[in-house]
Amino acid sequence: MSEQTLSSESTRDRIVRAAIELFHTRSYTAVGVAEVCEAAAINKGSFYHYFESKEAVVLAVIDRFLADPWFRGMLIANADAPPLERIEGVFREMGRRVGTLVEANGSFPGCPIGNLVAEMSTQNEAVRMKLAETYETWSQLFEDPLREARRRGELPAGTDVKVTARALVTVMQGLALIAKAYNDPKKVQKVGRTLVRRVLGIEV
């Protein structure tokens, strides 16, 4: 299909999807606009029609992760399960995904958001703020099951839901970094289960 027959939205989407893949596997700094254009099968004119700069693309990439974190659907799909089990399930799925990527590619490239935090948070304030917004959004997804667990007596009555939710996101990001360093899904799964249970106050 030629570029002319593609809708405006699909062309923009191809640019964002290409950037997600390239920034994740290589890094924001290492990837140029020309490489994004090549991966998206467009020319530079089309790129600059949708984005004024590479920075504008990375903000769109972060927006994509902010709007659709991978574990949102999992929490909803398992809504009938006990709340703490739903939360533990997110981390089991994370371990499975690490294993799949290591098996397919020989290595785990890390969390795309965490990678951008490490690379860009001290370089670009607009990007840093958007990354922080992403972490807040992710934390909020854990708040409802945590409140439900507190209401059911599965967590102490005085549990600070917001702090606990942020702690879970911190564990998630720490596990992604460990997975990238060790390249060993089993380490991630074992450590992840222990950390999550300690945050939630469940017997290890």
Report CA dihedral (102, 104, 105, 109) to the nearest 10 degrees. Answer: -50
What is the token pair recorded at 127? 């990007």
112: Cβ–Cβ under 8 A, 6 or more apart, which residues? 20, 23, 24, 61, 65
Give pLDDT, residue 193. Answer: 86
Give pLDDT, residue 9. Answer: 57
For residue range 150-183, what is the model confidence (pLDDT) as tens digits? 999 999 999 999 999 999 999 999 999 999 999 8
Asked whether the predicted pLDDT for residue 4 surpasses 50, the reply is no
pLDDT band at 105 (very low <50, low <70, confident <90, very high): confident
Asked whether the predicted pLDDT for residue 87 surpasses 60, the reply is yes
CATH of 69-200, one of 1.20.120.430, 1.10.357.10, 1.20.1440.230, 3.40.190.10: 1.10.357.10
Do the domains spanning 3-54 and 69-200 agree at the CATH topology level?
no
pLDDT band at 204 (very low <50, low <70, confident <90, very high): low
CA 170 and chain centroid, separation: 12
List Cα–Cα distances, 27 to 22, 30, 105, in angstroms. 7, 5, 16
Give pLDDT, residue 5. Answer: 43
Report the range of poorest mean pLDDT among 67-76, 141-150, 169-178. 67-76
pLDDT band at 138 (very low <50, low <70, confident <90, very high): very high
Q: Where are the domains of the chain?
A: 3-54, 69-200
Protein fold of 3-54: Arc Repressor Mutant, subunit A (1.10.10)
Give pLDDT, residue 150. Answer: 96
Percent of the chain's residues with pLDDT above 90: 75
